[in-house]
Amino acid sequence: MHTIVLATQKGGSGKSTLAIGLALAAQQAGHNVRLIETDKQGTLSNWQSRRGLVEPIVETVYDAGKIERRLQALERGGVTLSIIDTGAGINAATTAAIRYGDLCLIPTRPSVADIEATAQTVSVARAWRKPFAFILNQTPIRGGNRVNDATTALDEDAPRDIAEVLAKPFIMMRNDHQDALAAGLGVSEFAPSGKSAEEIRCLWHWVEARLTGDAAVTEESASVTEFPIMLIPAPADKTEPARALITWADSNVSWDACL
């Protein structure tokens, strides 16, 4: 069984929406999926009530001390993918989820403030030596070119590193996500041939490759990856080229962000 965790301290980033979207995409790809909700806000449970279908099962686990054993039991029970949705902020349950998960996915809107707010989650993942990746969510459809055009050239070995920590594709801002959530559906059920569904299926493909260590996919994306928001430390010596920096949990740098 693989376990992925959606975490970031900022509310409204898309943790619950992506947890559901990925759950349904994985289920449609043949996985036995369990959604675990550690957020008392209850977005997933409410979605389940509207859904009126048993699968995928949503279960709540609020107690950090119960997460590890619950995951072990699910694995014994034949679940092949657990997806843990966490609440805003960093709390004991989120920390435990990251600790016992295989991959921490950090959704963020493509703004400086949102990306800066991911630092604490990154620190927790790094503290437990857990792989993590950002998902750029709610990216503006018409701003796509602006986002990509502004990409600053990365130095030679940066793309491979960035391909590992930046999930592809970016998930655009589209009504389908909100409508699917309201209808108790995953976006790949709500509008199966829509662009949002396609993005989520591709995202699941990326996540699965990352979980299974399928280098082919990360190699492939390495050649095309552009990081739309460059977080670079202002170089002390202006003649030095700025390096792309992916370790922004190390906080004693001043950031320059170019949209």
For residue 121, state whether it binds ligand ADP (rule: CB under 6 A): no
Report yes or no: 148 and 127 within 8 Å, Cβ to Cβ.
no
CB atoms within 10 A of CB 205: 17
Q: Which residue is nearest to Mg ion (CB)?
A: 16
The residue among 229 and 232 lying less far from ligand ADP, judged by its C-beta, is 229
How many whole angstroms separate alpha carbon 247 and alpha carbon 178?
32
Does residue number 137 form part of the binding site for ligand ADP (CB under 6 A)? yes
Taking the complex as a whole, how short is the minimal distance between the CB of residue 253 and ligand ADP, in angstroms? 26
Question: Is residue 16 within the footprint of Mg ion (CB under 5 A)?
Answer: yes
Q: Which of 22, 28, 30 is nearest to 5 (CA)?
A: 22
Q: Which range binds ligand ADP by CB under 6 A, 64-72, 174-182, 204-212, 237-245?
A: 174-182
Q: Is 38 in the site for Mg ion (CB under 5 A)?
A: no
C-alpha angle 225-128-70 in degrees, rounded to nearest 5: 105
Closest to ligand ADP by CB, 154 vs 203, is: 203
Residue 14 phi/psi, 5-degree rounding, is 115, 20
In the bound state with ligand ADP, the residue whose beta carbon lies nearer, of 15 and 34, is 15
Q: Which of 112, 177, 181 is closest to 141 using CA atoms?
A: 177
Residue 249 burial (CB count, 10 A): 16
Closest CB 197 distance from ligand ADP, rounded Å: 12
Q: Which stretch binds Mg ion (CB under 5 A): 11-19, 142-150, 159-167, 185-193?
A: 11-19
Q: Rule CB under 5 A: say whether 121 interacts with Mg ion.
A: no
Residue 251, class by beta-carbon neighbours within 10 Å (0-12 exposed, 13-18 middle, 19+ buried)?
exposed
Question: Could you check whether the bond before residue 241 is cis, i.e. omega within 30 degrees of 0?
Answer: no
Minimal distance, residue 50 CB to ligand ADP, in Å: 13
Q: Which residues here bind Mg ion, judged by CB under 5 A?
A: 15-16, 43
Q: Which residues here bind ligand ADP, judged by CB under 6 A?
A: 11-17, 43, 137-138, 171, 173-174, 177-178, 181
